[in-house]
Amino acid sequence: MKKPLIFRSQRYGGDLAQRDNIQYEIKYSQWVDGKTPELPYHVTRWDRINKDHISTERVRRFATPEAAAQYCQEMYEGKIDLSALRAEIQADIAERESKRNKAERDGAEAFKDVLRQKGIALPDFLEVEKLWDTMNSDSRSLLYREAYPLNDRTEEEQEQRSGFVQQL
């Protein structure tokens, strides 16, 4: 067994150990994807000579800093296959990217379906959008008022509004 890693506390909430120009850091994440994680700790490994970085933030998480420190010790001793860990991380990245791409494609298809239902061709829509972007805000406001008239207001509210506008 190699010498145990000795972690020192960092001010910003992580613990750091260094051996043979490799830094092992235990980090605490209060939020992951907008939620509080059940396993808040993860490990990063920095090889300062080869400029190599591995983070287990998405694939391996730990309940306690002691469990994360044990994992770092196993990495230091060579019990953890780093190439397998890298492959797992790359697979996770590819899976998240494919989910994101699928969501983007689905959103684009849904939008195109709405345009088709309205009888608008996509190139025509993009041309109109470009023209809309060149208009100033007063012109846009005028078009909004024409498209969405304020007929749902009572006569009293309309008089109050017109009086207020005349005061300006």
What is the span of the domain harbouring residue 68?
8-80
Q: Is residue 119 part of a domain?
A: no
- Write down the residue that tokens 């959103």 correspond to: 107
Q: What is the pLDDT of residue 162?
A: 62
Q: What is the pLDDT of residue 108?
A: 94
Helix H, strand E, coil C: the string for the chain is CCCCCCCEECCCCCEEEEECCEEEEEEECCCECCECCCCCEEEEEEECCCCEEEECCCCCCECCHHHHHHHHHHHHHCCCCHHHHHHHHHHHHHHHHHHHHHHHHHHHHHHHHHHHHHCCCHHHHHHHHHHHHHCCHHHHHHHHHHHCCCCCCCHHHHHHHHHHHHHC
Q: Is residue 115 part of a domain?
A: no
Q: Is residue 53 part of a domain?
A: yes
Amino acid letter at 136? Answer: N
> Residue 153 pLDDT more than 80?
no
> Residue 161 pLDDT more than 70?
no
Mean pLDDT in residue range 77-101: 94
Q: What is the pLDDT of residue 10?
A: 83
Q: Is residue 87 part of a domain?
A: no
Q: Is residue 93 part of a domain?
A: no
Other Cβ atoms less than 10 A from the Cβ of 75: the count is 20
Q: What is the pLDDT of residue 14?
A: 85
How buried is residue 69: exposed, middle or buried, by Cβ count under 10 Å (0-12/13-18/19+)?
Answer: buried
Q: Report how far residue 123's alpha carbon sits from residue 113's, in angstroms, rounded to the nearest whole number.
A: 14
Average pLDDT value over all residues in the chain: 87
* Cα-Cα-Cα-Cα dihedral sign, residues 109, 115, 119, 123: negative
> Residue 113 pLDDT more than 90?
yes
User: In terms of Cα–Cα distance, which of 11, 6, 68, 7 is closest to 37?
Assistant: 68
Q: How confident is the model at residue 79 (pLDDT cuts 50, 70, 90)?
A: very high
Q: How confident is the model at residue 160 (pLDDT cuts 50, 70, 90)?
A: low
Q: Is residue 40 part of a domain?
A: yes
Q: What is the pLDDT of residue 144?
A: 79
Q: What is the pLDDT of residue 166?
A: 52
Number of domains in the chain: 1
* Percent of the chain residues topping a pLDDT of 90: 62
Q: Is residue 61 part of a domain?
A: yes
The residues with which 19 forms a beta bridge, in sequence order, are 22
Q: Is residue 46 part of a domain?
A: yes
* Tokens coding 154: 């009572």
Q: What is the pLDDT of residues 18-77, one digit of tens each?
A: 999 999 999 998 888 888 888 999 999 999 999 999 999 999 999 999 999 999 999 999
